[in-house]
Amino acid sequence: MLETIWFILWILLWAVYFILDGFDFGMGTLMPFLARSDAEKRVIYNASGPFWDGNEVWLITAGGVTFAAFPLAYATMFSALYAPLLILLFALIFRAVAFEFRNKVNCGLWRGVWDTCLFLGNFVPALLLGVAFANLFRGIPIDAEGVYQGNLFTLLNPYGLAGGLLFVIMFAYHGALWLELKAEGPLQERAGRTAKALWPLLLSLVLAFLALSAFYTDMYTSIAAHPVIYAALIVAVVGLVASRLALANGAMWTAWFMSSLFILGLTFFGAGSMFPSLIISSIDPSFSVTLANGSSSPLTLKIMLAVALTAVPVVILYQAWVYYTFSHKITAKELESEHAY
């Protein structure tokens, strides 16, 4: 029972991370295509500025929970996915440096370098997260001892790349909605038009990925044993459709929250389809890391649950306060502040 509770919490932590850092990834990826002046680029920087480092807390938390609750899965995952995770880490580091260094020198070349770092620091993690999770759904070649029998290019299979493309477009749509909320004038209009243009592409990619899942994975066989997981897909569909309807009606906060609901449902559907496995072996299913053989002791899970129920609400309240405090639009006056990026 405790293992199942932590499996659900593990998925939830990843979903929250995708929702919160997802709009950062999306805006950074779209910046070269939407921002047509230095001021508009600064709007995008400041639309992420108060949030991006707090959003990354959920990535650390998800990784920490994997280590503490499912140590064997952590060891196997971070060994098999070592190369993409290391690339992701460096991309996030350069993204962080871009925020702090861009305005240190008033030089076009200097700022251009850091703008490129910001773009890559958002696009690359979005792509790699999609590739990584698609491969987890598909199964990775691990042997009986949990040793990865492959390399980086093993992960760059058609299904993995489809997952990467889906994540990039999903986050781009999510980020365009956030930018529409935070920007003014022509940039806001372009963000809204971009969101409307990305929605049918996102829908097509979701349908294509679900179809590919039937060919490349045992996802639907696993879900047949636990049909309640289809409820998560229903949530995702409702969120995606409701987001587009809200976007058409100009209800941008509703559109963004419904996009968040879509990401939540899709994450639970995809990760939930692995239950009761955590790491599926494509060599032999008996080599897979499951809740039964990959979890920590019941005492450890109990202590962690008590800590989580105490600490996580505090983090949520703090982040809610941050989002409320900085919920205003990024104006020209805001950019003149000495604290602006």
| Whether the Cβ atoms of residue 99 and residue 66 lie closer than 8 Å to each other | no
What are the Cα distances from residue 270, in Å, to 13, 222, 236, 322? 14, 11, 11, 30
For 177-219, write each residue's pLDDT tens digit: 999 999 999 999 999 999 999 999 999 999 999 999 999 998 8
CA distance 35 to 124: 19
Encode pLDDT of 80-95 as tens digits: 888 888 999 999 999 9
Phi, psi of 292 (to 5 degrees): -70, -40
Hunting for tokens 């499951």 — which residue is that? Answer: 290
SS3 79: helix
For 57, half-sphere exposure in the C-beta direction (CA atoms, 13 angstrom radius) is 11
- For residue 44, what is the enclosing H or E element? helix 38-48
Comparing CA positions, the residue from 94, 143, 140 lying closest to residue 119 is 94
Residue 186: asked if its preceding bond is cis (omega within 30°), the reply is no
Measure the CA–CA gap between 69 and 35, rounded to whole angstroms: 43
Q: What angle do CA 110, 116, 117 make, to 5 degrees?
A: 90
* Separation of alpha carbons 137 and 140, rounded Å: 9
Give the residue from 157, 49, 38 showing the smallest Cα distance to 100.
49
Chain mean pLDDT for the chain: 91
To 10 degrees, the CA torsion angle through 221, 224, 226, 232? 90
**Is pLDDT above 90 for 25?**
yes
Residue 97, pLDDT score:
94
Structure confidence at residue 288 (pLDDT): 86
31 band by pLDDT with thresholds 50, 70 and 90: very high
